[in-house]
Amino acid sequence: MSTLTTQNLTLAYDQATIIDGMDVTIPSGQITALVGPNGCGKSTLLRGLARLLAPRGGAAYLDGKAIHHLPTRELAKQLGILPQSPVAPEGLTVRELVAQGRYPHQSWFQQWAADDESAVNKALALTGMLEFADRPVDALSGGQRQRAWIAMTLAQETAVILLDEPTTFLDLSHQIEVLQLLERLNRAQGRTIVMVVHDLNHATRHASHVVALKAGAVAASGPPADIVTPALLRAVFNVEADVVPDPRTGVPLCIAYGLAETPDEYDET
Amino acid sequence: MSAEIAPSSRAAYPWITLRTRLLSLRVDRRVPPVLALALLATLAAMVVNIGVGEYPVPPLDVVRTVLGLPTGNEDYSFIVNTLRLPRMLVAALVGLALGVSGAIMQGLTRNPLADPGILGISAGAGLVAVTLIVVVRNVPAGIIPLAAFGGAVTIAALIYLLAWRGGDSPIRLILVGIGLGAICGALTTLIITFGDIYDVQRALIWLTGSVYGRSWTEFWPLVPWIVVFVPLALLLARDLNALNLGEDVARGLGSPVARRRGLLLLTAVALAAATVAAAGTIGFVGLMAPHIARRLVGPDHNGLLFTAGVIGALIVVAADLVGRTIFAPIELPVGLVTAVVGAPFFIYLLWRTRRG
């Protein structure tokens, strides 16, 4: 199986160190949600795991091999990344977009083998995009568009898929559409999914493992039922919240009702 | 080994697939008919263009003369094969190079306004070439394309440093390009103002963006650039497709982004520089041809690059035909004709991009 870990990983943009010496393990075959307040480094961590950002120190490992030292094409056969809000070129159809996912499997002489075609069709079917396959991506709704991009990542046929805020800018039903798709992919195909999410309740409901980050460090990590507590919400998000069992599934549900009392600022109510 | 060409069973399948044991390719099914029509139209425009002039030659005789068949008129061979054919071939190759170059630049920058002329790359090539002709003087003709290439690379590097690295705002890229182009243009004018009249005349002949008087001497130096860089562009189409989705996506797909982007940029700049050396700065062809091609065959660079090239060839040949006939016997330079059509097109795109 494919296990993602980091050891003493340090990530930085120019002068600003975002993540300093982080050790984290992503369980394979599960959905892991990276959560935390703005600027905590969750997207940066995802970029580091996907070799979009080179480590300043330490390393991220896939099955024990340092990700930054793997040939980029080889890595692309094992690990897919969907960045935040990607933009498709004007007029590009869904099928053309999804076909791009075959890039790491192709060569100059084999640009469209039978495997490529079947992988694209499978990805279109899995995401329910077959009927939209020949529509331009820019003519789709937000949820369909995100599904098209996820289909591209699926056509890459990687064991691990990383997604940076896959539900941002989508309305509620489209958020659920995307999250349920990810759950299906994880359950039916055993793919390891790592996603950055903003909504903590999305994390508890759809992920089986949560990594909560604060200020570039892991504040807690584990199954949502074990780690999502009022104390964690206070420490990580600086909010006072009730954590109650979800009436249908029993997973922890967070209801925030105010900012946590902090010694500095915020006098008013 | 059997080649099967499989238009899929589904009615509206958009691709034509070629699949053998050694080779598999796919291309948008609109590409072959569009390419065939555009090639035919270009050839037809070339034949008509060769036929018109002070000494008209009927189209059929043009074709016979080019093919070396007897026509019953001994003057035709000189007029067609020596005077007018090389000019037409230069026009077609320049259009081809500009179309491919523009398509690469637009795909690479993800910017619909990119074009070797607008980004100042042609002006950079022009400045270096004029400097060689007017200031250095007596430079062998074969050196000028190489030197023009150096000028184009310099401008491309400056644009990259000043505009591209700090985020990819389309307007910023264009403004920096126009600015650098204006500086090069001003320096070129300065050199021309103080130059020796004979050298200046020589520099002006091609600086105006014209194929006037182009002979086999201008044609042959252009050929190697086309033969090397157009196929290279076609080989890199897959990487251009990936880069067109954005740098992060391309990297995630396993494209060696820095190397492939560098190679693509080099290809676009080399093609643009070669056109400047052969025909001066013919504007807006690299802008218009990819847009027209995209409308006809879609945005997949596998089919788009060469289609944009052929459309570019058609534009330059047709513009030259217009320039030669509209105020005959006075000839308008082809660059003037493309600018008259291209400038409004550019403004339209600028307006659409701002809103979008």
Q: What confidence tens digit (pLDDT) does each residue in B278-298 have?
A: 888 898 999 999 999 999 999
Per-residue pLDDT, averaged over A259-268, amounts to: 60
| Highest mean pLDDT: which range of A162-171, B91-100, B133-142, B207-216 | B91-100
What pLDDT shows up at residue A174? 87
pLDDT of residue B8: 44
Which DSSP letter does residue A69 get?
A: G
Q: What is the 3-state secondary structure (H, E, C) of B89-123?
A: HHHHHHHHHHHHHHHHHHHHHCCCCCCCCCCCHHH
What number is the average pLDDT over the span B19-26?
Answer: 86
Is pLDDT at A95 greater than 90 in this prediction?
yes
Residues 6+ apart with CB under 8 A from A237: A36, A37, A200, A256
Contact list, A96 vs chain B (CB under 8 Å):
14, 298-300
Q: Which of A93, A231, A210, A228 is nearest to A152 (CA)?
A: A93
Hey, what amino acid is at B277?
A: A
**Residue A221: its H or E element:** strand A217-222
Per 3-state DSSP, chain A is made up of helix, strand and coil in percentages (nearest 5) of 35, 30, 35
Residues of A in contact with B17 (CB under 8 A): 112, 117
Q: Which of A142, A138, A197 is CA-nearest to residue A165?
A: A197
Residue B146: in which H helix or E strand, if any?
helix B143-159
- β-strands A160-164, A79-82 pairing: parallel
C-alpha Rg value of chain B to the nearest Å? 21
pLDDT of residue B354: 66
* Smallest CA–CA distance from A103 into chain B, residue: B253
Q: Is B22 in Cβ contact with A96 (below 8 Å)?
A: no
What φ, ψ does residue B198 adopt, rounded to 5°?
-70, -45
Kindly list the residues of chain B whose beta carbon comes within 8 Å of any beta carbon in chain A: 12, 14-15, 17-19, 22-26, 107, 110, 112, 235, 238, 241-242, 244-246, 248-249, 251-256, 294, 298-300, 302
- A114-126 vs A172-189: helix crossing angle, rounded to 10: 130
Is the model's pLDDT at B156 over the cut of 90? no
- pLDDT reading at A118 higher than 90: yes
Q: Which pLDDT score is estimated for B49?
A: 95
Which one, of B33, B250, B186, B95, lies nearest residue A86 by Cα?
Answer: B250
Checking ipTM against 0.90, whether it exceeds it is yes
What is the pLDDT at residue B251?
94
Mean pLDDT of B61-69: 92
Task: Give the model's confidence band at B168: pLDDT under 50 very low, under 70 low, under 90 confident, else very high.
Answer: low
What's the pLDDT score for residue B197? 86
The confidence band for A139, taking pLDDT boundaries of 50, 70 and 90, is very high
Q: Residues A179-204: what's their mean pLDDT? A: 93
Task: Report the candidate in A161, A237, A221 with the shortest Cα–Cα distance to residue A34.
Answer: A221
Residue A258 has pLDDT above 50, yes or no: yes
Which of the two residues, B121 and A163, has the higher pLDDT score? A163
How much helix, strand and coil, in percent to the nearest 5, is found in chain B?
70, 5, 25
Please determine, for residue A214, whether its predicted confidence score (pLDDT) is greater than 50: yes
- Please name the residues between 68 and 97 in chain A that touch chain B, using a CB distance below 8 Å: 72-77, 80-83, 86-93, 95-97
pLDDT given at position B138: 80
Residue in B178, B100, B251 with CA at minimum distance from that of residue A80: B251
Residue B10 predicted with pLDDT over 50: no
Given an 8 Å threshold on Cβ–Cβ distance, is B255 in contact with A92?
no
Q: Report the pLDDT averaged over residues A164-180.
A: 89
The answer to whether residue B139 scores a pLDDT higher than 90 is: no
- Give the torsion through C-alpha atoms of B141, B145, B148, B152, to 10 deg: 180
**Range name among A43-52, A68-77, B211-220 with the lowest pLDDT average:** B211-220
- Burial-class residue A257 by CB neighbours within 10 Å (0-12, 13-18, 19+): exposed
- Using DSSP, state whether B5 is helix, strand or coil: strand
Percent of chain A with pLDDT over 90: 77
Give B322-348 pLDDT, tens digit per residue: 999 998 888 888 988 999 999 898 888
pLDDT of B3 higher than 50 = no
Position B229 confidence tier, pLDDT thresholds 50, 70, 90: very high
| pLDDT greater than 90 at residue A193 | yes
Q: Using CB atoms, which residue from B23, B253, B302 is nearest to A103?
A: B253
Whole-angstrom Cα distance, residue B53 to residue B51?
7
